[in-house]
Amino acid sequence: MMDDERRIVITGVGLTAPNGNDLGEFRGNLLEGRARIGTLDLRYMGETPAGICDFDALRYQKKRELRVGTRAGSVSIYCARESLADSGLEWESMDTNRIGVYVGTTEHGNVETENEVYNISQFDYDTRFWSHHHNPRTVANNPAGEITLNLGIHGPHYTIGAACAAGNAGMIQGAQMLLLGEVDVALGGGVSESIRSFGIFAGFRSQGALAAHDDPNQASRPFDMDRNGIVVSEGGALYTLERLSDAKKRGAKIYGEIAGWCLNSDASDYVLPNAERQAECMQRALKMAKLGPSDIDLVSTHATATKQGDIQECKAIRSVFGDSQNTHVNNTKSYIGHCMGAAGALELAGNLPSLEDGVIHPTINVDSLDPECELPNLVLNTAKDGVEVDAILNSSFGMLGINSALIIRRFTD
């Protein structure tokens, strides 16, 4: 057993998703099979399915801060504040120089730039009407930086661009900084404001990868024969991470322990996932955690509901877990769409309670399973209870061939 100084644990969770603004609400809707996808009337594109969050931004920000800042920053602040409150840390006695903020995101700044270009188009492109807030809104560190401004945190902060693997990457970075002794508390995870950018929707549509359905709640259909693409969504999930020694000292509630991780690169295509490299990523995370495939009770998939993406991921999962009889598989995007940089962090949050309650939420909207996506113990349409879940592998990957695997284990002293 490792020394408590070398063990990293989760002591707080803060989130907002299209179907919930805290872990209890989010988890309850997943177990009930309740999706919550709406539609947006997008500039130049019309009505399109999208996952829209409905959290109270004014709980932690003033109206002026909302005007000056960004949607990504607002999501980040909400999640950070909720996570720290959940952790039970005594904020007044904390050394704010020893708190780090590591926020993963798919992209940042496109929304603000698109809006400014549109705004000045109404004034014959006169740049005098360009917002003087634009530069701080669009710098890459903005979401993490807005957290430090709001909370008065003086430790390191940065935003991690890791495409749709960013949620895992934010948590991994937080764990690494704790192990290096650079910080004593890390806020790590991912956020997304993607629905504010028509360019993201237009890009997926031009790829033939943007979901369409008469019922928005059935538009996101991972593994289903009739899946036709991604539902773009916003959201966020940030975790309070600590060394076990510090968490024990204050008697903290512990959600789970970070046991292993891996980030790697396909180096093979701009958008098409590489099953061999994904499998390698999961295997390396297992090796770090000193676990075998049969020790993983639940694989939380990335599955975006694009045909080739789902198939490639299922190939990777079969190659690693094909002989494991007790490894269950599920997906969360069928409820909330693809939250981009927040996807992995939210998908982990939806499954984290399984370590305690032994229930695995299902993948919904699967009416006809694609034979190429068949996996042993794939949980479909109805929750499965009575499962002893001791370890979860959270898989996320993204464009330019970035893969991530993060393993969370039930905490035992």
pLDDT at 220: 98
Which residue in 391, 163, 395, 375 sits closest to 280, CA to CA?
395
Q: How far apart are CA 347 and CA 189, in angstroms?
A: 11
Q: Does the residue 255 lie in any domain?
A: no
Q: Which of 221, 249, 277 is the last residue of a domain?
A: 249
Looking at the fold, whether 178 and 301 belong to one and the same domain comes out as no
pLDDT at 1: 64
Looking at the fold, whether 121 and 240 belong to one and the same domain comes out as yes
Give the three-state DSSP class for 404.
strand
Looking at the fold, whether 175 and 310 belong to one and the same domain comes out as no
Identify whether the C-beta of residue 88 lies closer than 8 Å to the C-beta of residue 14: no
Looking at the fold, whether 149 and 32 belong to one and the same domain comes out as yes
Burial category of 326 from C-beta neighbours within 10 Å (exposed 0-12, middle 13-18, buried 19 and up): middle
Looking at the fold, whether 155 and 297 belong to one and the same domain comes out as no
Query: Which pLDDT tens digit goes with each residue over 68-103?
Result: 999 999 999 999 999 999 999 999 999 999 999 999
Residue 282 structural domain: 260-409
Identify whether the C-beta of residue 241 lies closer than 8 Å to the C-beta of residue 5: no
Looking at the fold, whether 270 and 228 belong to one and the same domain comes out as no
pTM value is: 0.97
Looking at the fold, whether 140 and 76 belong to one and the same domain comes out as yes
Identify whether the C-beta of residue 79 lies closer than 8 Å to the C-beta of residue 44: no
Neighbours of 151 (CB within 10 A): 18
What element of type H or E holds 173? helix 166-179
Tokens of 126: 């006169």
Give the three-state DSSP class for 75.
helix
**DSSP at 294:** G
Backbone angles phi, psi at 195, to 5 degrees: -70, -10
Rg (CA), the chain: 20
Which residue in 394, 357, 133, 170 sits closest to 281, CA to CA?
394
Q: Does the residue 3 lie in any domain?
A: no
Looking at the fold, whether 242 and 264 belong to one and the same domain comes out as no
Looking at the fold, whether 75 and 106 belong to one and the same domain comes out as yes
Tokens of 291: 């676990």
Q: How far apart are CA 156 and CA 390, in angstroms?
A: 33
Looking at the fold, whether 37 and 121 belong to one and the same domain comes out as yes
What's the length of the chain? 413
Looking at the fold, whether 220 and 275 belong to one and the same domain comes out as no
Q: Encode 81-149 in three state secondary structure.
A: HHHHHHHCCCHHHCCHHHEEEEEEECCCCHHHHHHHHHHHHCCCCCHHHCCCCHHHHHCCCHHHHHHHH
Q: Does the residue 193 lie in any domain?
A: yes
User: How does 88-118 read in b/e, with b if 16+ C-beta sit within 10 Å?
Assistant: ebeeeeeeeebbbbbbbbbbbbbbbebbbee
Give the three-state DSSP class for 76.
helix
Q: Provide the domain count of the chain.
A: 2
| β-strand pairing of 8-16 with 235-243 | antiparallel
Q: Does the residue 126 lie in any domain?
A: yes
Burial category of 63 from C-beta neighbours within 10 Å (exposed 0-12, middle 13-18, buried 19 and up): exposed
Can you tell me which residue has the tokens 């803060």?
14
Q: How far apart are CA 140 and CA 108, in angstroms?
A: 6
Torsion of CA 151, 157, 160, 165, to 10 degrees: -60
Q: How far apart are CA 403 and CA 165, in angstroms?
A: 6
Q: Does the residue 254 lie in any domain?
A: no
Q: Which of 224, 249, 274 is the last residue of a domain?
A: 249
Q: Which of 218, 249, 280 is the last residue of a domain?
A: 249
Q: How far apart are CA 216 and CA 44, in angstroms?
A: 19
Neighbours of 245 (CB within 10 A): 13
Which ranges of the chain have pLDDT less than 70? 1
Q: Does the residue 12 lie in any domain?
A: yes
Backbone angles phi, psi at 130, to 5 degrees: -75, 135
Domain CATH number, residue 285? 3.40.47.10
Looking at the fold, whether 244 and 272 belong to one and the same domain comes out as no
Q: Does the residue 229 lie in any domain?
A: yes
Q: Give the angle 296-324-164 at the CA atoms, nearest 5°.
A: 50
Q: Does the residue 148 lie in any domain?
A: yes
